[in-house]
Structure 1
Amino acid sequence: SSASGEPFFTRWLAVDVLWKIAAGVGIGWLGGKVMGYLTFYLPKRSGLSETRDGFVALGITCLAYGSTEMLHGYGFLAVFVAAVALRSVERQHQYHQSLHDFTEQIERLLMMVLLVCFGAAIAEGSIFGALSWRVIVTIVLMLFVVRPLAAWVGLIGFHTSSREKAVIAFFGIRGLGSFYYLAFALGQAEFEGATILWVTVCFAVLSSVVMHGVMVTPIMHQLDRGRPRSWLRMPRARPR
């Protein structure tokens, strides 16, 4: 039971599950619809879409996230729903490409800054002091068992070959978002062994980045050899 005498499960179900999800979905949907109207259906001279300014994407993100967090909802969920709702207002407008390009540039810029700071922390060397065999075993299990298995389950229904699914599941993503998720979790509650958590995340990300950098090119070349020549002549999307 909680300090107020209310059973923990009841409060968790009512607040953390029902209310926070409902708030995230509701505020995100409403915010996306309103911003979609302001963006695409105002008179041409005042419509945001006529500015071609990608900063609108940042504004929508901050509005959806901030307003939802103020009402103790899930801001991450609200941002996702707001983007879907915004797109549903007008699906064919070219301004969507401007928003996408801007957010992609911001993502790459922030990733570069984060990697520089991460590299500086590694060079400083203090995080190596808490490294132990338990941390190493945990990282190995995450990279070679947990992440591939979770990614494979997520690819159910995706129509591609088993080899391609295996490659996608094995590499997954580099996990830079783990820094933010851990910082967010530690800001919401107190956990024992916070230092161990940071060390585990840091070395998991470091191992993932090294693994991507060293292995992805030869494995992709090997995968391309098994594809038909007509596929190889198709235009490729830019790597994310």
Structure 2
Amino acid sequence: MTADLVYLVAGASLLLAIVLPSSLSRLPLTSPMVLVAVGMLLGATSLPDDLPLSPQDNRAAIEHITEITVLVALMGVGLALDRPFDPRQRASRRAWSPTWRLLAIAMPLSIAGVALLGWWAGLAPAVAILLGAVLAPTDPVLASDVQVGGPATHALDEVDDCAPIDEDDEVRFALTAEAGLNDGLAFPFVYLAVLVAGGGALGATTLEWLGWYLLGKTVIGVVVGVAVGWVLARLAFRASSPALRVADRGEPLLAVAALATSYGAAEALGGYGFLAVFACAMTFRASERRHDYHRAMHEVVERLERLLTLFVLLVLGIALTRGLLEALDWRGVTIGLGLVLVIRPLAAYLALSVLPVPAGERGGLTRAERSATAFFGVRGVGSLFYLAYAAGQVDAFGQPWLWSTVGFTIVASVLVHGAASGWVMKRLEGQPRVTSR
């Protein structure tokens, strides 16, 4: 009977994944909202009571499933971005200005804000830092409603980085690029929490963290990703042998091969694999930008991501009604809502408002667009991965209260951001883009 029920639930869930995106387009609902609700309904009714849902007992499984989900999402995000990046050109650097601001200013401020709020609530310093790092990344998995839709290929016009843009492109681009990069850049702060929990001398810990965990592993991840993406692009588009020129055959599974190769190589060399996957996808996308092969690769990654996200959200919903929130208290509620409604919006708005690129240029945001970009800091699957990873390094990081707080924050983000995304993006599409002072 249990096996029959599993098949029934799996089939119904796949059907939801297929029909939900188009069915919900006119409603203030998103697929993640519905999937979490369905999971909660299943958890409260028909499923067996002995399902393995305890985060502490299933930490390794949670870590690996969420890791794969984030990796697939990062590959899709990197392939979807049409805007090239050339650090040698000032126009290109300005076109990416919102992304750098969100990463270099908003993200550390958000981590510090959550850590200070946690310390005020009585958390140990290492736990407070970890909570800030875990909840910092804008999730590439659950933020699809406010991100770019996919790669333009043959229809992509030659444009200059300073050319006028469509109304909502800048918001979607900023959130998409941020989600692609900050999932890897949250890792140094997770390691900082691990180092602090280890009780090392403050000076030694700081030097080790700055030199290796912040700089060294980041550089290795980016370099490996760029190298793998460049080699695979050369083979796929310009190899002398037709057997290696897979772009001509339109074989989309190269996206999965690129994902696994870049991630494995970066991790083997000690770098950040998340950054490597995103850098690999961006580098590959920069080759033959108008080739339809990019769209074919993105489509297969997008479908894989949808299936993985479906599974994670259903299990999260079931866990919510099977004890995940039992340890939640006023501290967790305060931190979760404080991040979603106050800390992230304020930190990001401040980062985007200091000496901004004029609206109407690439990288420029109007006041309304800055507000929308600051508000949509969606929390999701990446937070579950980081907590599971940290709990495998330090036993104290596996406490039920942390799982309850992170689970509550994700659900709050899904509800708040999901309900607002459609309305806000439609409002932005109808507003003229004038220079904001």
TM > 0.5: yes
CA gap of 1:225–1:37, structure 2 versus 1, over 3 A, is closer
Compute the displacement of 1:216 (Å): 3.7
Query: Which residue does 1:79 correspond to in 2?
Result: 277
Q: Specify which structure has the bigger relative contact order, considering alpha-carbon pairs within 8 angstroms and separated by 6 or more residues.
A: 2
Counterpart amino acid of 1:52? G
TM-score by length of 1: 0.81
1:166 counterpart (371, 378, 381): 371
Compute the displacement of 1:139 (Å). Answer: 0.9
* Equivalent in the alignment of 2:302: 104
Q: RMSD in angstroms over aligned alpha carbons?
A: 2.8
> Which AA in structure 2 matches 1:196?
W
Alpha-carbon distance in structure 1 between the residues aligned to 2:279 and 2:421: 32
In structure 2, the residue corresponding to 1:72 is in which secondary structure?
coil
> Normalising by structure 2, what TM-score?
0.47
Aligned to 1:128: 325
Q: Work out the CA distance in 2 between the residues paired with 1:152 and 1:109.
A: 34
Higher fraction of helix: 1
Letter in 2 for 1:115: L
1:37 aligns with 2:234: yes
Separation (CA, whole Å) in 1 of partners of 2:394 and 2:237: 41
Q: Is 1:141 equivalent to 2:334 in the alignment?
A: no
CA distance in structure 2 between the aligned counterparts of 1:189 and 1:38, rounded to whole angstroms: 43
Q: Deviations over 1:126-179 (max 9, x none)?
A: 123201011111111111112213433564544333223323322332433211
Deviation at 1:30, TM superposition (A): 1.4
State the match for 1:231 in structure 2: none
Q: How do 1:130-209 and structure 2 match up within 5 A? A: 130-153=327-350, 155=352, 156-157=356-357, 158-192=363-397, 194-209=399-414
Distance (whole Å) between structure 1 residues aligned to residue 286 and residue 211 of structure 2: 30
Structure 2 unpaired stretches of 5+: 1-194, 358-362, 433-437
| Change in 2 beyond 3 A, CA 1:37/1:225 | closer
Partner Cα separation in structure 2 for residue 41 and residue 21 of structure 1 = 30
In the alignment, the residues of structure 1 paired with residue 331 and residue 200 of structure 2 have an alpha-carbon distance, to the nearest angstrom, of 37
1:58 and 2:256 are equivalent in the alignment: yes
Q: Deviations over 1:25-61 (max 9, x none)?
A: 2211211111111211123343121232222111101
- AA at the equivalent of 1:181: Y
Runs of 4+, deviation exceeding 6 Å: 1-6
Structure 1 residues 74, 59: closer, same or farther in 2, change over 3 A?
A: same
Amino acid at match of 2:364: H
> How far apart in 2 are the matches of 1:11 and 1:224?
45
Q: List aligned pairs for 1:200-239, cutoff 5 A.
A: 200-219=405-424, 223=427, 227=431
Report how many aligned residue pairs link the two structures.
226
SS class of match (2:325): helix
